[in-house]
Structure 1
């Protein structure tokens, strides 16, 4: 299937590959040298090397496998009546190639769950040495027991290469790359806009897509919270993100040591607001390397939309 048939900008793939292969990463506030990320990655490698030589490593892996299912309701101003009670399964940052033992754990947690919409907000890939198809296959295996009455949507994260889009499409996902769709229930309509990753691969096409949706009630699927101010200004009601893993390694009380956000830091974890817009930053199902969690559980979220009386 061509990019045009998918509703995808035919120039997107080439532009994405240029950034992937270039010396700079791109966010909403402009480019930043890739070497900064390389230094941070090296420090993480050294931390992991030391951690593996302590009993804390095994405990951290055990913590990473202790998933939770978070369920809550969100009041949405202007929600069309037909969508009151609409259930969204929000999954993010699966990284199942980093810790494959999460696949059966996630399956047990989600087997038999019924929702109206599945939204995967990026970072299906984790280990850059693992095949993209294997990472996506792990995701499908983890979600195989979920019953989805409507669309299965996905966006890309900063760990996902351009090739992940086609891989997820072949597995039955509608991958939103700087474009919007409309879900209809009778005469009622709900708009959903999905962007390419804005932490590392931002282009002005993302901002145009965010501003281009004209539905009265809209949801944004964006890998990180770094477009929260722009989405609120554009009139979105709900913003679903991931990227931060909730910190993954947190201080007691769940306070992240690092958020990995370059802006909109108030959207680092959990529920937050920006103006009249509600946001939720999922702590992620999976983990980045090292595959441990402390004071921060991995999760999937089931979000029920409610109208405001």
Structure 2
């Protein structure tokens, strides 16, 4: 399919003109479930846990992660990326204010967002736009802000976000320049519900040996990324389960892939990946044993190729100051 074909497919799905199509997720994973959410809301209220769960959503941690690559250009050694996902920005009235105040402390090279900007899956986006614009003005970055659409999002967001400085990549790529060298950043449309992703199309104009960074809403297309020679795959969607049980983990992840891909660092063949558990929550705005996160990623040339040292491991989660 061409980009135009994929855009038309998404628009037909949004308009209800397409009843069946190929996608990675199940239809029920995309739909709002008001009855289920009401039951959960009332249950948490009766147990006296709702206020605690909502407070957890407002208390993100910073997850600092370092990645090492043999083929990273020298100029990008130490390159920093602010990774935000699953903002669901209209889910709580003060969420944008809370996140903006915390993001103000960071000065990064690049900011990327991996989808799901609104809380519901249908309805108007006016409140989303107001909150997103407020949030985006608090982000300091030298190379811009880029993102992809998620399964909660609609195509109309693309033009609105562009006016705010957030550039949505729809199966396309661009070069990020630094000191005369470059890496390539690509983004694909949502593969989970809309099934509109095409990794090969996104990298069609990218040199074969270039360093490739891919933004996807969900971790579910890790195999396609490996075939395309992706170096770093950043995604979200799963919320890390959002509500987890001690020693057991997520009750449900809403992703058609092995659980090793649904939270934190992972690797598939040559592809290094990171699944952000999200900045907020959906369905019912609560979290338990799975705090929201703000990702701060640093890229390095492989330490072994420079000094013979072993690559550093992921740093532990740290609360924001």
TM-score norm. by structure 1 comes to: 0.88
Aligned 8 A contact 2:32 2:283 in 1: no
Q: Please show how residues 135-284 of structure 1 align to structure 2 within 5 Å.
A: 135-203=128-196, 206-210=198-202, 212=204, 213-215=206-208, 216-253=210-247, 255-284=249-278
Could you say what secondary structure the match of 1:223 adopts?
coil
Aligned 8 A contact 1:112 1:145 in 2: no
Task: Name the counterpart of 1:125.
Answer: 118
Instruction: Pick which of 97-106 and 148-157 moved more.
Output: 97-106
Aligned 8 A contact 2:30 2:151 in 1: no
Could you say what secondary structure the match of 2:186 adopts?
strand
Distance 1:218 1:129 in 2: 33
- The runs of at least 4 consecutive aligned structure 1 residues that moved more than 6 Å come to none
Could you say what secondary structure the match of 1:118 adopts?
strand
Q: Given the alignment of the two structures, is residue 293 of structure 1 paired with residue 287 of structure 2, yes or no? A: yes
**Is there any run of 5+ residues in structure 1 with no aligned partner, and where?**
1-7
**Structure 1 residue 9: deviation in Å?**
3.3
TM-score norm. by structure 2 comes to: 0.85
1:27 corresponds, among 12, 23, 28, to 23
Aligned 8 A contact 1:193 1:209 in 2: no
RMSD: 2.3
Distance 1:39 1:132 in 2: 16
Name the count of aligned residue pairs: 298
Instruction: Pick which of 288-297 and 264-273 moved more.
Output: 264-273
Task: Name the counterpart of 1:5.
Answer: none
Task: Name the counterpart of 1:84.
Answer: 77
**Structure 1 residue 149: deviation in Å?**
0.5
**Structure 1 residue 210: deviation in Å?**
4.5
Task: Name the counterpart of 1:3.
Answer: none
**Is there any run of 5+ residues in structure 2 with no aligned partner, and where?**
306-321
